[in-house]
């Protein structure tokens, strides 16, 4: 196994991590920004007002995208499993 194979494996793993976390992180960012603007307009500075909507939104997106997320993680794992003989050389 040479450095190019290792770089490819790490590159694929990082891509799966970034692609898998993007929907939850993106929506959490958007909801947090919306709530922050709403708090600035109304001058209500309650900590739970920012936490609870973000948590609910992230859980809903995670539930909606879980089959897709599981599929891309399983594809990576199966690809690594199938290529074990190539990596052993």
For the chain, the first-to-last Cα distance in angstroms comes to: 6
> Distance (Å, rounded) from C-alpha 4 to C-alpha 11?
10
Please write the tens of the pLDDT for every residue from 15-70.
999 999 999 999 999 999 999 999 889 888 887 788 899 999 999 999 999 999 99
Domain limits of the chain?
Answer: 3-88
Other CB atoms within a 10 A radius of the CB of residue 62 amount to: 14
Does pTM surpass 0.85? Answer: no
CA 82 remoteness from chain centre: 25
Dihedral sign for Cα 44, 46, 49, 55, please: positive
pLDDT for position 43: 87
pLDDT for position 14: 97
């Amino acid at each position: 196994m040479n450095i190019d194979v290792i770089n490819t494996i790490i590159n694929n793993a990082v891509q799966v991590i970034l692609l898998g976390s993007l929907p939850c992180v993106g929506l959490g960012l958007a909801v947090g920004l919306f709530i922050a603007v709403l708090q600035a307009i109304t001058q209500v500075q309650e900590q739970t007002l920012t936490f609870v909507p973000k948590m609910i939104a992230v859980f809903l997106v995670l539930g909606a995208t879980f089959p897709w997320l599981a599929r891309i993680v399983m594809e990576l794992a199966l690809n690594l499993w199938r290529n074990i003989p190539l990596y052993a050389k």
